[in-house]
Amino acid sequence: MIPREGTNLDPWYGLYADRTAGLSASEVRALFAVASRPEVVSLAGGMPFVSALPLESIRSSMERVMRDQGARALQYGSGQGTPELREHILEIMALEGVRAGVDDVVVTTGSQQALDLIAKLFLDSGDVVLAESPSYVGAMGIFRSYQAEVSHIAMDADGMIPAALVERIASLRAAGRRIKFLYLIPNFHNPAGVTLSWERRLEIIEIARREGVLIVEDNPYGLLWFDRPAPHAMRSVETDGIVYLGSFSKTLAPGFRIGWALAPHAIREKLVLAAESAILSPSAVNELVVSDYLANADWKGQIDTFRGLYRERRDALIDALEHYLPDLEWTNPNGGFYVWVTLPEGLDAKAMLPRAVKELVAYTPGTAFFADGAGRANLRLSYCYPTPNEIREGIRRLASVVRGEQELLSTFHPTGPVDLVLPAPHVISPPPNLG
Ligand SMILES: Cc1ncc(COP(=O)(O)O)c(C=O)c1O
């Protein structure tokens, strides 16, 4: 029998759990399907340039695993992940000053799953998660799906501002709100492109200790630095109050879907139970292949290759912005994948996106990275996937869109600024000439 609360579109509508109210497709999703066409320069996604990987080495690892450990690879594994892989993970984290034991690490299905498990362990409806302003869209989606509220803390070129954090903790607590953790992306922030300074890392750790706030340090990009290494991880100086997350997605390949959490003892035990309940165990095949690759291939050299490649693309993007759009503001990342752009006053990145896609360039509007509707003047540009030439062409196209918007604005508001909301469609449908 079809439940009576249903609709014509979805007969089960009335039966979904309350928490699914947070599961909404982004308004720009349909547009991104169009933006993935080859003629569009996409500066929107955060896809690593996997074509630069040593595919032969990875193939050898796959063959070796199947030849030498085929039965183990095809069986259920340990919920916490294989001991070999956890050993390798310790070696990788040591590059950023983190020391831990193999028992402290939990292998997950990407760091995205680690975020989901942490949210599942800590968040009740109405809880507050503190995060940077802006923050990673995928993390906020998870927090929302557990019915928590994200409270954004101001940041500048050195990352989150400690004084703003102190103030916010006080005001939330005065209002009777329950803060569950502070979610931070200290290195080459997604989407802001900035890095939290060492001094601020220490200050924020001190604040969190004093206030009894757990820190979730999400670090998928730390090894992808360009001109100088990022400061050591926050977890290098604080063990009890931090859950640290790492991933092979950006430094190796997202297709393996292997990430990890390093957590204080009590939290780690619960994480393993939650992971087992969610997936029984991570993919044993992928764990063994990644372990074999790390044991036999020049993985540090491969990360160096990625660094050189992304540095060149960052340079191409910044040069193109300086050349074509000198009146905009942007961050200049020292690693990672992203540049955060602020448009001239009066322009709206979300309203401008359909016109940009029509001009065959795509970006991610800033509103995606705020839980509170802010970010209309911002956009995120990713330089990880397109070639330097494509990046230059993409920015040339973007510049013509921005100029067009500015002309429109001065036509409608010749006397100048400007709290005009452009008469642009807020419900986005694919532009007609792209189908
Ligand atoms: C800041 C941040 N955290 C976590 C993730 C999830 O990565 P994965 O699940 O592939 O490890 C991403 C992916 O873009 C990210 O940018």
State pLDDT tens for residues 278-336: 999 999 999 999 999 999 999 999 999 999 999 999 999 999 999 999 999 999 999 99
Residue 113 clears pLDDT 60, i.e. is over it: yes
Separation of alpha carbons 58 and 74, rounded Å? 18
Domain residue limits, the chain: 20-52+301-410, 78-281
Pocket test for ligand 1, best of 135, 136, 143, 256 (most atoms within 8 A of CB): 136
Quick one: pLDDT at residue 420?
Answer: 41
Please give the distance, rounded to the nearest whole angstrom, from the Cα atom of residue 115 to the centre of ligand 1: 9
Please give the distance, rounded to the nearest whole angstrom, from the Cα atom of residue 220 to the centre of ligand 1: 6
| CA 249 to ligand 1: nearest atom | 10
Residue 13 clears pLDDT 80, i.e. is over it: yes
- Is the entire prediction scored with pTM above 0.85? yes
Give the DSSP H or E segment for 90: helix 83-94
Quick one: pLDDT at residue 414?
Answer: 57
What residue's CA is closest to ligand 1, atom 8?
Answer: 110
CB-count burial class (<10 Å; 0-12, 13-18, 19+) for 367: buried
- The torsion angles phi and psi of 235, rounded to 5 degrees, stand at -60, -15
Judged by phi (left if over 0) then psi (alpha if -120 to 50, else beta), residue 299 lies in alpha
| CA 254 to ligand 1: nearest atom | 10
For 363-376, the pLDDT digits (tens) are 999 999 999 999 99
Going by CATH, does the domain composed of 78-281 fall within 3.40.640.10? yes
| CA 337 to ligand 1: nearest atom | 16
* CB 130, CB 151: distance < 8 Å: yes
Quick one: pLDDT at residue 20?
Answer: 87
What residue's CA is closest to ligand 1, atom 16?
Answer: 190
What residue's CA is closest to ligand 1, atom 6?
Answer: 112
* CB 65, CB 205: distance < 8 Å: no
What residue's CA is closest to ligand 1, atom 14?
Answer: 46
> In the structure encoding, which two tokens stand for residue 251, read together?
């430094």
20-52+301-410: which CATH number, 3.60.20.10, 3.40.228.10, 3.90.1150.10, 3.90.470.20? 3.90.1150.10
Residue 124 clears pLDDT 80, i.e. is over it: yes
CA 228 to chain centre: 22
* Beta strands 128-132 and 179-184, pairing class: parallel
Please give the distance, rounded to the nearest whole angstrom, from the Cα atom of residue 328 to the centre of ligand 1: 28
Please give the distance, rounded to the nearest whole angstrom, from the Cα atom of residue 403 to the centre of ligand 1: 33
- For ligand 1, residues with CB inside 6 Å are 46, 110-112, 136, 138, 185, 190, 218, 220, 247, 249, 254, 259
